Each structure stands twice: as structure tokens, then as C-alpha cells.
């Protein structure tokens, strides 16, 4: 059985993403302004030259600024759909019948008070099941993670489902993994630790013998299914029961791990850095690696402030001179600070000698790059490797 995700009306190549909802593409002859229906960060996908699948917009609104919508992208020998709003329709057609065979009625867009849920199903015993569907596009190294950016909405849905489970509903969240060869699903500890910690508190795995049994203790049953999308836009169900691992959610609650700080410095500077003396700082991008075995989020927030702090770490001397600062957390069981430094050096980063590494044998924990690291696929692949593989090693 198949379900349609999008139509392939035209193909083009990615050029840029001026904002969350706009992608500029080029088909080799014409530059095309395209609506981006996925507001996520999509850091693994959007590099110049990547092949996009475009759908002709059918909106009759005169205010529509684009004629095309990006329906999908060719990625790692497959197709990743970029239309999360259509995941509900696909789930309703090909996934729910497979994982909820006991439901005799299924209603979409079901409202309870001020809340609305994707589906409500009723089984033969009259039990009501609330099902919230989440589209998961972040799949690397066989591990699927959701979300790829902080989602207050997802956390609110989780809390509402938990509250309703205490009143007699059977509450469920279904993560639809949109591409790849996922072997298991893990909440995205790095991009939304609050949601991951919420799943640790409210989530539960289905009993394999009675996978949809109602729960009255406020627990929400967590499911994950994998689909595969073809280039013409149709999707098939590959695996309705991808294993879910909630054991790593404790990392988010413990708020510990590592981080990369990306600092853009627009002008050459001569900066006094305490005992290191005066450093010549060239225009460009600097990547600093650090760790915190507790209060990681507070440490990162401190580094993001340019002023109103006592200079304690070497990085404190640089932040006042930055144009932009970006934080990339990496929750982990182990201290990966020095490993990250070695990886940055391997990517060609120029080490600022002795910076940030007074308590280890590394040459530096600050590296200079002439171009934006997040526009470098090798850098993004390195980040994803640490987030999906190294961070989960105990």
C-alpha cells in the first residue's frame, strides 16, 4: 500500500535558504524561489548543489510569493520528504492500520477542549486512543532523532497527552521516520533537551504482547515507524515497529556534556587574553570546544553573553568582539572535549596555540576557519557523528 507525499513536477538544485520558509533553487537555467514547508534547521540537507524535488503550488492566493514548494530532497541514495504537514495523511493511510489493527474507528483532527490531536481511535472495547504524529527527518548513522530544533509545541502535546492518560485515554506519540535505514529512535537530546527529559518523565514503551493497552498513570506510549519515499512522491511503510530507546533521556535531565561555540569575528583584532598575552585575531570564524559535567545549559548561556560577566575562561576575552555566536550542544556520558579538538584540527582548523587547554595536552581548543563551518559538509558530518554515535557511548 502506498500514500502520496508530494508530486514531482520539477527538479532543481539548492542554492540558498534566506529564511526558514524560503529556498532559492536553480534548474540550470532559471533561478526559482520556492516555499520551504519544513521550518526545521535541516543542517544535514541544505548544501549548494543538492538535488531538490519541486511541487507546483496549487494555492489560489494572490499573496503567494512563490510558485513552487520543495517536496523532497535526494539524500544518501534515497529521498527525504520535506513536507511534515502531510505526514498525518501518510500515517493515516499506511501506518496506523499496521500498528493499531484493533482500532475500529479512527477520527482525524480530534479536539478535546482547547487541545487538538492528530487522531482519535476507538477499539472494540470502547477504549479511546489519542495519537499524535511527529515527522522525523533527522536520521544519521542508523539513528533517528526528533526534533532537529527546539519544539515547545511537541513538549506541550506530550504534557497534554500525559494529563489525558490519567483520565482514561490511551495516549500515544508516533514518530514517523521519513527516510534512511534507521535501526532505532532516540529523542534528540542535543537540540531539545527539554522534550527529551519530558519523554523520560512521561513516556513509556509499548508492551510487545499488548502494545496498545491503556495506561492510567499518565504514561504516553511511544512508537516509531519507518517509511520510504520514491522520487515521484509516493511513500511505502518499511518497518512499522522501529525500536525506541528512551534510556539516554537521563542525559538531558542531568544537563551535562560538551559543546562547540561558533564565533564570527568580522574585523582583525589584537586581543589581550590573560596569561596568553596579546593574540592576533583575523577576520573569520572560530570554533571553541568545551565541556561541563553539570549545568551544561548554564555554561552555554554564559558563553553566549558578550558582556555582563567576569572574565574567567579564555573564550570570555573573545566574545565581546564577535558579530554572531552559535552554540552546538553535544550531550554525552563521557568528556569529549579533547576528541572534538582533535577532530577540528583534522578538518583543517588552524589552532590558536594553548587557547582553552591549560588542563590538558592538546595544542588548542580554539580553531580558526576562513569560511562558515555550518556551510562545510565535513564539519556538519563531524557534528552529527558526535551527536548520533559518540555521545551515546557509555
DSSP 96-140: HHHH-TTEEEEEEEEEETTEEEEEEEEETT--EEEEEEEEE-EEE
Average pLDDT over residues 280-298: 96
With cut-offs at 50, 70 and 90, classify the pLDDT of residue 210: low
d(CA 228, CA 234): 8
The larger pLDDT score, comparing residue 148 to residue 207, is at 148
50-101 pLDDT, tens digit per residue, is 999 999 988 655 446 799 999 999 999 999 999 999 999 999 999 999 999 9
Picking from 202, 204, 184, the residue whose alpha carbon sits closest to that of residue 144 is 184
pLDDT value of residue 59: 64
Q: Confidence band (pLDDT; 50, 70, 90) for 309?
A: confident
Q: What is the pLDDT of residues 336-353, one digit of tens each?
A: 999 999 999 999 999 999
The pLDDT of residue 299 = 96
- Find the DSSP H helices in 235-393: 249-254, 296-304, 337-346, 377-388
Check: CB of residue 192 under 8 Å from CB of residue 149.
yes
Crossing angle (nearest 10°) for helices 193-202 and 152-165: 10
- pLDDT digit string, tens, across residues 140-193: 999 999 999 999 999 999 999 999 999 999 999 999 999 999 999 999 999 999
pLDDT of residue 307: 83
**Predicted local confidence at residue 348, as pLDDT:** 97
CB burial string 14-43: b at 16+ within 10 A, e below = bbebeeeeebebbeeeeebebbbbbebbbb
For the chain, the C-alpha Rg in angstroms (whole number) is 23
pLDDT digits (tens, 9 = 90+) for 350-361: 999 999 998 899
Span 95-149, pLDDT tens digits: 999 999 999 999 999 999 989 999 999 999 999 999 999 999 999 999 999 999 9
- Tens digits of residue pLDDT in 20-33: 999 999 999 999 99
The three grid cell numbers given for residue 97, joined into one nine-digit string: 492500520
Taking only the tens place, the pLDDT of each residue in 224-271 is: 999 999 999 999 999 999 999 999 998 998 999 999 999 999 999 999
pLDDT value, residue 16: 97
Question: What is the structure's pLDDT at 193?
Answer: 95
pLDDT of residue 158: 97
pLDDT band at residue 208, thresholds of 50, 70 and 90?
Answer: low
Give the chain's domains with CATH numbers.
1-249 (3.40.1350.60), 255-392 (no CATH)
Write down the pLDDT at residue 216: 59
DSSP SS3 for 94: helix
What was the pLDDT predicted at 159?
97
- Residue 215 pLDDT exceeds 70: no
Amino acid at each position: 500500500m502506498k500514500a502520496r507525499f508530494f508530486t514531482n513536477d520539477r527538479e532543481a538544485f539548492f542554492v540558498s535558504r534566506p529564511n526558514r520558509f524560503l529556498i532559492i533553487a536553480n534548474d540550470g537555467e532559471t533561478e526559482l524561489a520556492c516555499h520551504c514547508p519544513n521550518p526545521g534547521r535541516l543542517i544535514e540537507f541544505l548544501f549548494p548543489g543538492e538535488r531538490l524535488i519541486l511541487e507546483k503550488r496549487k494555492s489560489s492566493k494572490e499573496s503567494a510569493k512563490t510558485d513552487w514548494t520543495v517536496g523532497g530532497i535526494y539524500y544518501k541514495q534515497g529521498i527525504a520528504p520535506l513536507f511534515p504537514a502531510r505526514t498525518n495523511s501518510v500515517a493515516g493511510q499506511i501506518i496506523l492500520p499496521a500498528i493499531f489493527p484493533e482500532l475500529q474507528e479512527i477520527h482525524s483532527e480530534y479536539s478535546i477542549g482547547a487541545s487538538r490531536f492528530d487522531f482519535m481511535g476507538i477499539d472494540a472495547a470502547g477504549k479511546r486512543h489519542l495519537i499524535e504524529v511527529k515527522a522525523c527527518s533527522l536520521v544519521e548513522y542508523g539513528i533517528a532523532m526528533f526534533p532537529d530544533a527546539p519544539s515547545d509545541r511537541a513538549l506541550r502535546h506530550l504534557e497534554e497527552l500525559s494529563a489525558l492518560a490519567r483520565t482514561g485515554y490511551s495516549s500515544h506519540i508516533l514518530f514517523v521516520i521519513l527516510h534512511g535505514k534507521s535501526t532505532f529512535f532516540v529523542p534528540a537530546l542535543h537540540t531539545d533537551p527539554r522534550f527529551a527529559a519530558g519523554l523520560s518523565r512521561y513516556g513509556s514503551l509499548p508492551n510487545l504482547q499488548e502494545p496498545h493497552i491503556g495506561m492510567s498513570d499518565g504514561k504516553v506510549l511511544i512508537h516509531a515507524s519507518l517509511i520510504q519515499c520514491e522520487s515521484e512522491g509516493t511513500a511505502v511503510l518499511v518497518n512499522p515497529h522501529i525500536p525506541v530507546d528512551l534510556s539516554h533521556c537521563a542525559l538531558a535531565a542531568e544537563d551535562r556534556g560538551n559543546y562547540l561555540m561558533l564565533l564570527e569575528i568580522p574585523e582583525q583584532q589584537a586581543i589581550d587574553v590573560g596569561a596568553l598575552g596579546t593574540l592576533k585575531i583575523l577576520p573569520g570564524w572560530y570554533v571553541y570546544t568545551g565541556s561541563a559535567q553539570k549545568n551544561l545549559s548554564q555554561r552555554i548561556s554564559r558563553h553566549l553573553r558578550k558582556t555582563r560577566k567576569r572574565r574567567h575562561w579564555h573564550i570570555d576575552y573573545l566574545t565581546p568582539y564577535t558579530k554572531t555566536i552559535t552554540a552546538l550542544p553535544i550531550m554525552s556520558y563521557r568528556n569529549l572535549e579533547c576528541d572534538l579538538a582533535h577532530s577540528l584540527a583534522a578538518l583543517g582548523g588552524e589552532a590558536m596555540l594553548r587557547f582553552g587547554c591549560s588542563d590538558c595536552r592538546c595544542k588548542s581548543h580554539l580553531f580558526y576557519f576562513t569560511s562558515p563551518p555550518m556551510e562545510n559538509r565535513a564539519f556538519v558530518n563531524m557534528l552529527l557523528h558526535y551527536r548520533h554515535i559518540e555521545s551515546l557511548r557509555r
